[in-house]
């Protein structure tokens, strides 16, 4: 929101209130342990520290990174890097996961581009 705008507009006060609050949820990058997973068609439950308020919105196996990666919408308090999660995959059970930096890259650039 541009505070320098002097003209009033619909929604200005609502935007000011939203800006004043800290975000309640954040989209976090995650790595999911275990065997290769297929893309999820429905959100999967994600639990951190016994509190199950998050969900995996998308996940798939990355052939380039050779690991399962995805995005999870998590409470802001559970979205810090390296936070440990448990993801429930229907038909496959629970898997350990952790919050990782986005975007998903090979930090040392050891994987050649093809």
Q: Hunting for tokens 């209130």 — which residue is that?
A: 17
Cα angle value 84/67/100 (rounded, 5°): 40
For position 74, what pLDDT does the model report?
94
Q: Please report, rounded to a whole number, the percentage of residues in the chain having pLDDT higher than 70.
A: 90
DSSP-assigned letter for residue 4: T
Close Cβ partners of 96 (under 8 Å, ≥ 6 residues apart)? 32, 33, 34, 84, 85, 86, 87
pLDDT higher than 70, residue 1: no
Question: What pTM did the predictor assign?
Answer: 0.77
Domains of the chain in sequence order: 23-100 (2.40.30.110)
27-36, 38-47, 103-112: least confident range: 103-112
Close Cβ partners of 88 (under 8 Å, ≥ 6 residues apart)? 44, 45, 46, 47, 94
Distance CA 62, CA 86 (A): 19
């Amino acid at each position: 929101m541009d505070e320098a705008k002097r003209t009033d507009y619909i929604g200005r006060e609502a935007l000011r209130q939203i800006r004043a609050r800290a975000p309640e949820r954040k989209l976090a990058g995650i790595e999911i342990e275990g065997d290769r997973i297929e893309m999820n068609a429905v959100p999967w439950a994600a639990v951190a520290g016994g509190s199950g308020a998050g969900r995996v919105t998308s996940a798939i196996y990355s052939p380039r990174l050779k690991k399962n990666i995805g995005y999870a919408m998590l409470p802001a308090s559970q979205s810090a890097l390296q936070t440990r999660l448990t993801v429930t995959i229907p038909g496959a059970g629970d898997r350990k996961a952790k919050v990782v930096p986005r975007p998903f890259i090979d930090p040392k650039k050891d994987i050649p581009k093809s």
